[in-house]
Structure 1
Amino acid sequence: MHNPSDIRIVTADDHPLLLQGLNDTLTRRGYELAGTANNGTEALQLILDKQPEIAILDIEMPYLTGLDIAEICLERGLTTKIIILSYHKEVAFIHKAQRLNLSGYLLKEDTTTEISTCIEALLNGETYYSPAIAQSTMEQSSEIQKMLDLLTPSEKKILKMIAESHSTEAIAELLHVSIRTIEKHRSNIIRKLDLNGQTHTLSIWAHEQKGVIKGL
């Protein structure tokens, strides 16, 4: 068990009452607040200046979101471990958090009860996601899998390539078929997945569900 007073934490949330509640919780439990911010730009600057062990960030803030900050920290090779606070438990958000190697992802309603457990897990080199997220992710992944089961083998292959950001033209060339054939497959996939037919809708959806699609 780590000594809380040795752990410097930066917090950021653009809702003053939520930020104060988070800070009060951390202070009561003995953690050192290295700084606190109410927008993403301030939060990033605090992390760069203070180099805290942990930063607890709201997922949605002005200027830079919590995920934006996590991406910048990853690119710069910073050692600060990032915990995101969010109301979102959709698969797309969770997959993005995982791609950014986030150390923690807590639902805001779980913050008070789970924060110490989350911090301790991070300090032991583990990741920690709210238990409710794991359940929700499994349920949503199961629903997506049922939809993907409606696709033919050819449609699944094309969907994988779409998820990997290949264009229609590139897919046609790789599969040695016409562009029109790929466009027809895309239309069928959109219909079976019950997506709207707007430009790039399928590409965006496939990218968001890449973690599920790659298992096809």
Structure 2
Amino acid sequence: MKRFLIADDHEAVRSGLRAVLEQRADWEVVAEANDGSKAVAAAIANQPHVAIVDFSMPRMTGVEVARRIREYPLQTEVLIFTVHNSSLLAQEAFQAGARAFLLKSDANKLLLAAVEALLAHKPFCTRSCQSELDRGLSPGMDSRQALTPREQLVVKLVAEGYSNKGISSILDLSVKTTEAHRAAAMRKLDVNSTAGLVRYAVRAGLIEV
């Protein structure tokens, strides 16, 4: 029996994915999660063969989930599932240890193919995803500007409206450390306001609008 984890903060999406996957008699969804932290915990507890992880979730991005899963001795393959056709996001997903990147708009025709590739421990990327990767990073976003996973998560939370104190509580950091991550991200992105961080977060697919 092949075991699956579905992590998405929309219940309708999780239900739809479960229905598709469990059409196969030997496939079973053993866990669901509605935020990134719960997704990591569910992966550790259930050790699924495949984790289908939405990129934009509360508390932790899908890329950070993939990175955390790779830190444990798990055989779980990670598929990043997103509405954002972003070369930056795709590159970060693969660098973090995900082996598949699938746009939600392609799910109806390509989800099963992506999952079967992962079950065979093979990478999967759609043509549209690959064309974005071939183009490299988006204009103005070269490798020197790449944020660390922690900086990226801080920017995501800033864009979602959290204060430095709120971010510190969520990430279990001191306010001073949160401020340092925020300042480093602003320096790398060459922005000088919260609005600039929000614009980056939208463009990079860190949040849905």
TM-score tier after normalising by the smaller chain length? 0.5 to 0.7
Partner of residue 200 from structure 1, selected from 162, 176, 188:
188
- Read off the aligned partner of 2:97 and give its amino acid letter: N
Please identify which structure carries the higher helix content. 1
Residue number among 21, 30, 44 corresponding to 2:16 in the alignment: 21
| TM-score normalised by structure 2 residue count | 0.64
Aligned to 1:11: 6
> Does the CA contact (< 8 Å) of 2:64 and 2:96 recur in 1?
no
Q: Tell me how far apart the structure 2 counterparts of residues 84 and 133 of structure 1 sit (CA, whole Å).
A: 12
Structure 1 spans left out of the alignment, 5+ residues: 1-5, 148-158, 166-197, 206-216
> CA, structure 1 residues 87+74, in 2 after alignment: closer, same or farther (shift >3 Å)?
same
Shift of 1:131: 2.1
> Is residue 41 of structure 1 aligned with residue 52 of structure 2?
no
TM-score (norm 1): 0.62
Question: Deviations for 1:20-66, whole angstroms, at most 9, x for unmatched residues?
Answer: 11111111233211111212222211111111111111111111221
Q: 5 Å matches for 1:71-110?
A: 71-110=67-106
Superposition RMSD on alpha carbons, in Å? 2.9
Superposed, 1:168-207 pairs within 5 Å as 199-201=187-189
Aligned length: 154
Mark the CA change 1:43 to 1:201 in structure 2 (over 3 Å): closer, same or farther: closer
SS at match of 2:113: helix
1:89-128 deviation per Cα after TM superposition (whole angstroms, max 9, x unaligned): 2111111012112111110111121111111111222100
Which residue type is aligned with residue 97 of structure 1?
A
CA distance 1:61–1:120, change in 2 (3 Å): same
- Aligned AA for 2:188? H
Classify the secondary structure of the residue corresponding to 1:28: coil
Distance 1:141 1:43 in 2: 29
Q: Give the match's secondary structure for 1:93.
A: helix
User: Are 1:10 and 1:52, in contact at CA under 8 Å, matched by a contact in 2?
Assistant: yes
Gaps of 5+ in 2: 148-185, 192-199, 201-209
Residue of structure 2 equivalent to 1:112: 108
In the alignment, the residues of structure 2 paired with residue 59 and residue 46 of structure 1 have an alpha-carbon distance, to the nearest angstrom, of: 16
CA contact (8 A) 1:25 1:112 kept: no
